[in-house]
Amino acid sequence: MEYLRLSKIHQGRLNKGDELISTLIVLLKEKNIQLGSIYGLGAVSSAKLGYFNASTKKYEERFFDENMEIISLGGNISLKDGDIFPHIHVVFSRKDFSVVGGHLLSPTVVYAFEFVIHEYSGKPFVRQFDGDTGLYLWK
Ligand code: ZN
């Protein structure tokens, strides 16, 4: 475990119609945020979620073509293959008040999205493939 220092807090929003992850990556690259955490609220017009099946060590993906509210969105920011990589999990609520959640994937289209990014100072964490889990974990 490492103790990190909070360097900056960025607060903002994305626009209706933005693809959430790719737009976020552009923003992270513009600000050169390589190490941090993200929290967000809002709504989406559609979303793709992943579920990591530990038996097959593969992600199962599902696309939800519906308006859903972002009840909770949290993630971390580190490096994977030399690129800034946000790892984001989310819980959505649906029209019938049921919830779905998982690992957030593209394409996910923003209806409204407000976020807070905590940027940390220090050496970025780097992801590498872990054969034991089949996941890209921090070194
Ligand atoms: Zn995940």
State pLDDT tens for residues 46-74: 999 999 999 999 999 999 999 999 999 99
Compute, in angstroms, the gap from residue 16 CA to the centroid of ligand 1: 24
**How sure is the predictor about 13, in pLDDT bands with cuts at 50, 70 and 90?**
very high
Q: Which amino acid is at 63?
A: F
Compute, in angstroms, the gap from residue 63 CA to the centroid of ligand 1: 16
- pTM (2 d.p.): 0.95
Helix, strand, coil in percent for the chain, rounding step 5: 10, 65, 25
Compute, in angstroms, the gap from residue 59 CA to the centroid of ligand 1: 9
Compute, in angstroms, the gap from residue 87 CA to the centroid of ligand 1: 6
- CATH code at 7-138: 3.30.1330.80
Q: Domain map of the chain by residue range? A: 7-138
Q: How far apart are CA 127 and CA 86, in angstroms?
A: 11
State pLDDT tens for residues 74-104: 999 999 999 999 999 999 999 999 999 999 9
Does residue 109 have a pLDDT over 90?
A: yes
Helix (H), strand (E) at residue 27: helix 20-31
For residue 40, the cross-strand partners are: 73, 115
Compute, in angstroms, the gap from residue 86 CA to the centroid of ligand 1: 10
Compute, in angstroms, the gap from residue 89 CA to the centroid of ligand 1: 6
**pLDDT recorded at residue 2:** 87
**pLDDT recorded at residue 123:** 94
Compute, in angstroms, the gap from residue 93 CA to the centroid of ligand 1: 19
Compute, in angstroms, the gap from residue 13 CA to the centroid of ligand 1: 22
